[in-house]
């Protein structure tokens, strides 16, 4: 089932191209912005990381404050977050990012509770599809 864009800020940003994406959202007098990110998309029944296509998306960032706590993704192996959503064509679209001071609007976060092993093997994520590991 596709993820619905429910936040008006996400809809404004989604309507922008790569060339006009970066900058203030302009709905209200605040610090929320749009930012272009490089994405990787996987087909509806894809289970292999190699079966992907590169793309991009204009995402909405909601300002939360000047300080930040850097999150750990990929079972603690990387600083940042892997974000995902399901598109209207049932593709899984993902990107990796670290947006200090801002929260990504209308995208889900991949999450791991088990750490990566010494052999560098990642456990499957506890939140999000197994394809989250492809972005690590």
pLDDT at 1: 56
Model confidence at 13: pLDDT above 90: yes
Q: Which are the contacts of 87, defined by CB distance < 8 A and separation ≥ 6? A: 2, 3, 41, 93
Query: Is the model's pTM score more than 0.75?
Result: yes
Q: Cα–Cα distances in Å, from 27 out to 10, 11, 19, 99, 112? A: 11, 11, 19, 20, 35
At 134, give phi and psi (nearest 5°): -65, -20
> Going by DSSP bridges, is the β-strand pair 23-24/81-86 parallel, antiparallel, or unpaired?
unpaired
pLDDT at 120: 63
List pLDDT tens digits, range 86-136: 988 899 999 999 998 899 999 999 999 988 876 667 888 999 999 999 999
pLDDT at 2: 60
Spatial separation of the C-alpha atoms in residues 108 and 93, rounded to whole Å: 10
- Token reading at 69: 């706590």
- Token reading at 56: 């991009």
């Amino acid at each position: 089932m596709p993820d619905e864009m429910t936040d008006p800020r996400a809809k404004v940003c989604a309507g922008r191209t790569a060339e006009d994406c970066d900058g203030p959202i302009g709905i209200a007098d605040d610090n929320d912005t749009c930012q272009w990110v490089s994405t990787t998309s996987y087909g509806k029944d894809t289970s292999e990381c190699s079966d992907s296509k590169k793309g991009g998306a204009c995402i909405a960032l909601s300002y939360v404050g000047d300080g930040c706590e850097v999150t750990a993704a990929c079972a603690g192996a990387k600083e940042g977050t892997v974000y995902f959503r399901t598109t209207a064509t049932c593709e899984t679209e993902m990107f990796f990012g670290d947006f200090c001071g801002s929260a990504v609007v209308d995208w889900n976060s991949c999450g791991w509770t088990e750490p990566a092993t010494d052999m560098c093997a990642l456990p499957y994520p506890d939140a999000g599809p197994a394809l989250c590991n492809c972005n690590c």
